[in-house]
Chain A
Amino acid sequence: MEALLEASVRLAAPLLIAALGELWVERSGVVNIGIEGTMLSGAFAGFAAAVATGSPAVGLVAAAAAGCGVGILFATFAVVRKLDQIVVGMAVNLIALGATGLGARALYAGNPPAAPTLAALPVPGLAELPLLGPALFAQTPFVYAALGLAVVVGLGLSRTGAGLRLRAVGESARAADAEGIAVDRVRFRAVIAGSALAGVAGAVLTLSHSDVFTEGMTAGRGFIALAVVIFGRWSAGGVVGAALFFGAATALQFRLQARGAEIPYPVFLMFPYLVTLTVLAVAGGRARAPADLGRPYRREAPAG
């Protein structure tokens, strides 16, 4: 049980980091499905930098920087040039897939070394607590950072002027503009911040969960992070819950597969989504997407 909890939290961490970034982006009215490719870029950049320098910390910085770079690419087309966000996001994903694959082959010729990883950092005393000790207090810094980040994003949205303006932009770009808020600037910055986090989330895969980079290794985790934001109903608390839930489902699936259960593995892949849908349908409530999500803002276009 302890091991299962520990694995759940560990596996949830990259999802949580990416989803919190995406949450910030979406609350500003931009949907960045390029998050998958951004994570992949972070995974690669983090890996490459850590291998080159021998320092996982440098890898981390490189991953965030790579995320920023991809974010700037996305925001330039989707926010500044106001192209369709889904189209740009898809393009970013494909470009990132190709570019990281190319980079990996060029650098390692199919024979990548192992990266130095970030070690677990148990909190003395607390880590030995029964049940929750290993899950919450014997993890890598990524996990602590992810949980801290949830608090920062939650408070940032509800208790800071920037968060309030961000929410206004996401709900009604026109109303925000009329009040003198620079809509595109808010969105551009949100995308950069969210993408940096996606880059870091990608680095978790190469600097903590494993020590290698393989082509396309994010394997849909970016899309799951998108789902986490939706199932978390665009709130920081909800995102934490949803990410932990997906983490637990993944851990459970690994465990059952390892035991050689007779159930075919796609059932386990479906399992978290089915449960979440059921939970949402039963829970109901009024949470919904920001009203201007996915809609580029053009000042001179007719209102509406």
Chain B
Amino acid sequence: MPQATSRPAAYAARLHGVSKAFVPRRPVLDGVDLAVRAGEIHALLGENGAGKSTLMKILVGLLRPDAGSISLADAPVDLDRFTPAEAVRRGIGMVHQVSALVPAMTVVENLAFGDARAGLWFHPRRARRAAERLAARFQLEVSLDRRVEDLAMGERQRAEILRALGRGARLLILDEPTSVLTPREAEALFASLRGLRDAGRAVIFISHKLSEVEAVADRVTILRQGKATASLSAREADARELGRLMLGRDVPPLERPARTPSVAAPALEIRGLCAPGLSEASRLREIDLRLDPGEILGIVGIDGNGQRELEEVLAGVRRPTRGDVCVGGRRIAPRPRALRAAGLAHLSGDRDGAGLISAFTLAENWILKGSHDDRRFFRRGWLDRAAARRAARAAAERFGIVPADPDAPIASLSGGNAQKLAVARELDGDPSVLVAVNPTRGLDVGSARFVHDELLARRRSGGAVLLISTDLDEVLALSDRITALVRGALAAVPPGSDRAAIGAILLGEAAA
């Protein structure tokens, strides 16, 4: 795209000495420097809670730093007057880690409402055509006419990316945009990003998938405990080295010991399950599956192929039209309390929706899943706050949740730390079956490793795990058996299939 400026800016953004503390004397950012050149893809890495999202929110005017200075396209920013509107005017676009779409609006409306180029009138049909063109240009498929709240996570993410790309930003910030994209979608996104870079724009890319960072980034800045500890060319380090720089330690590869076949009754058995779907493609069609104690069954699939529906049936909030659900050999009415009582726990794939209540504290969320007569926290209907806080603190410490403060609201936690709390809560009480949906979404490599170890520990002690995940690598690394969910039906995955073979099955390209 031709630029009218005579001399292109050397730096899309420079941050100098940026500090921010939400709680006095506990700085989240402590004098961070970051320089992003025009025409580069700059990865920002760091553990969960390192302050990546906070830094980016400062850069788009959503948060005000306590100290520091910012310049955009070589022009200084007046931080006292810096607002998101000003950031948009200065050509910054951002895909937020926590969705910034309006759930009750359609995708078309979401693409349109913040568009500064829109005139006085809103023409639904014209807006739709513009959205269509955009989707085609960036090869991101989104159902444009559906409300965002009815979309699968992956599709929401695509919609949000599309919106940011469509704004034609000079600096595009992507805060974990790929956490539920398929490899192919991620590849298309990276191609778009490279295109932007080659046109002289800048991209800040935040991801915990280090292989992606390796593939797409030109430069990498590492944030550790509120400080930028390293800034290097992406060629200088591979994924393993990046992990070490980020965590200050090595993450050894996962070991999954062989499993001794179980003779006991299946932990979970589903027979002929049919359930209505949010869309035609996600209606569940005759699901049959069997999960043994001490087994991890991985269900791979592209988001929107029935994962959410299957999850909801097993959480007891979507009524199947047909079929049986048996836990421990007994047929269970798929209602939330009955399923829980039978020993089935559910780690929600929609952390901010069905998983945790973000306005509640850690302690409140900790007891929330329990029955109302959990002896540990309730005495004759009265809540034992001290016990709840003790339990939440213990869990937070064991899982390395920062801050390990039972009174902190979930909303004040970083995305990864909130996820860790959700995992810890569901593993508590040793469920015989754990339905885990994208359990490591948004976790840094160290934390992801920790959760994987926990799932394997559950397996070792005879628990069964139904792992519904869009992360192929995760499923491959953890599962004893793998099956695919394609258009609401299960498709067999032959043992020993590799990424490519599974990818073909997911897209329905496998030879019949």
Contact = CB atoms under 8 A, between A and B. Distances in A.
Interface of A: 158-165, 167-168, 171-172, 174-182, 290-291, 299-304
A304 B121 contact: no
A299 B85 contact: no
Nearest to B99: A175
A303 B411 contact: yes
Given A178-B84, A303-B411, A304-B411, A172 B103 contact: yes
Contacts of B120: 160-162
A172 B121 contact: no
Interface stretch (B86-94, B264-272, B397-405, B500-508): B86-94
5 contacts: A161-B118, A175-B100, A181-B113, A302-B412, A303-B358
B94 A178 contact: yes
A171 B352 contact: no
B352 A304 contact: yes
Interface in B253-272: none
Nearest to A157: B122
B96 interface: yes
Interface size class of B (residues with CB under 8 A): 35 or more
Interface stretch (B57-65, B195-203, B319-327): B57-65
B20 to A, nearest CB: 10
Interface in B407-430: 409-412
Given A164-B109, A181-B114, A175 B102 contact: yes
Interface of B: 60, 62-64, 83-89, 94, 96, 98-105, 109, 112-114, 116, 118-124, 352, 358-359, 409-412
Contacts of A168: 102, 105, 109, 113-114
B94 A159 contact: no
Contacts of A304: 352, 358-359, 409-411
Given A160-B122, A179-B114, A182-B85, 13 more contacts: A160-B120, A161-B119, A163-B122, A168-B114, A171-B102, A171-B105, A172-B102, A176-B114, A177-B62, A180-B114, A182-B83, A290-B104, A303-B98
Contacts of B99: 175
Q: Which 3 A-B pairs have the closest CB atoms?
A: A179-B114, A304-B358, A302-B411
A164 B112 contact: yes
Contact of B84 (A161, A162, A177, A300): A177
B89 A180 contact: yes
B103 A180 contact: no
Nearest to B63: A300
Q: Of B85, B94, B102, B122, which is in contact with the most chain A CB atoms at under 10 Å from its CB?
A: B102
Contacts of A174: 100
Contacts, number: 96
Contact of B88 (A158, A167, A171, A180): A180
Contacts of B109: 164, 167-168
Contacts of A291: 103-104
Nearest to A167: B105
Given A161-B120, A168-B114, A178 B102 contact: no
Nearest to B409: A302
Contacts of A167: 102, 105, 109, 113
B370 to A, nearest CB: 22
Contacts of A179: 84, 88, 100, 113-114
Nearest to B94: A178
Given A291-B103, A291-B104, A302-B411, A178 B96 contact: yes
A293 to B, nearest CB: 11
B104 A180 contact: no
A160 B109 CA distance: 12
Contacts of B86: 180
Nearest to A181: B114
Which residue among A177, A182, A303 has the maximum number of chain B CB atoms within 10 Å of its CB? A303
A178 to B, nearest CB: 4
Nearest to A291: B104
A179 B117 CA distance: 13
B149 to A, nearest CB: 9
Given A161-B122, A164-B112, A300-B63, A180 B105 contact: no
Contacts of B359: 304
Nearest to A182: B85
Given A178-B96, A180-B88, A302-B412, A161 B121 contact: yes
The interface centre, meaning the residue of A164, A171, A302 with most chain B CB atoms within 10 A of its CB, is A164
A300 B99 CA distance: 17
Nearest to A163: B122
A303 B85 CA distance: 18
A168 B412 CA distance: 24
A28 to B, nearest CB: 13
A300 B103 contact: no
Contacts of A290: 104
A106 to B, nearest CB: 45
A302 B112 CA distance: 26
